[in-house]
Amino acid sequence: MHRLVVALFVLVTSAATASAQGLFPSVWMGQGGSILKVLAVDPAGNFSGVFISNPTLPCPAVPYNLAGSMRGPFVAFQTSRTWTLDCRATTVWRGRLVNPGTVAVTFVATTWGPTGVPIRVRGREVFRRI
């Protein structure tokens, strides 16, 4: 029984890793023109890179840190820019790989207003590999 559990764990881990390795290196474009660049993926399926904001937003084409993970078809990542007061935001994204070239996600973006009060925006986005 112990061998079966270990074999199953290895199979699941290798499948998740292989799926995440397909992300590296890659560039994805959102429906509104934002760019997601995956620059590194580790064996556990964690990835990092750069997110460049939608060119039509109040902070157009601004770079944000990107960190996330992929487990099977499920993906979760966070983009953040905390080192400046202008365009400061943190966004949490969750979704799934629809096919090898498409990721559908929902997001919650948090920015801070002039008085320091957090402002949250929710939405959906589809990224396609380019």
The domain spanning residue 107 has which CATH number? Answer: 2.40.128.30
What's this model's pTM, rounded to 2 decimal places?
Answer: 0.80
Give the helix/strand (H/E) hosting 122: strand 118-129
5-56 per-position pLDDT tens digit: 333 333 333 444 445 556 668 999 999 999 999 999 999 999 999 999 999 9
Least confident of 73-82, 90-99, 114-123: 114-123
Look at the block and give the residue holding tokens 């429906």: 31
Q: Token pair for residue 90?
A: 């943190």
Residue range of the domain that includes 108: 2-129
Q: Token pair for residue 6?
A: 């270990």
Domain count, the chain: 1
Name residues whose C-beta falls within 8 Å of residue 84's C-beta, 6 or more positions apart in sequence: none
Kindly give the pairing relationship between strand 74-81 and strand 118-129: unpaired
pLDDT of 130 reads 95
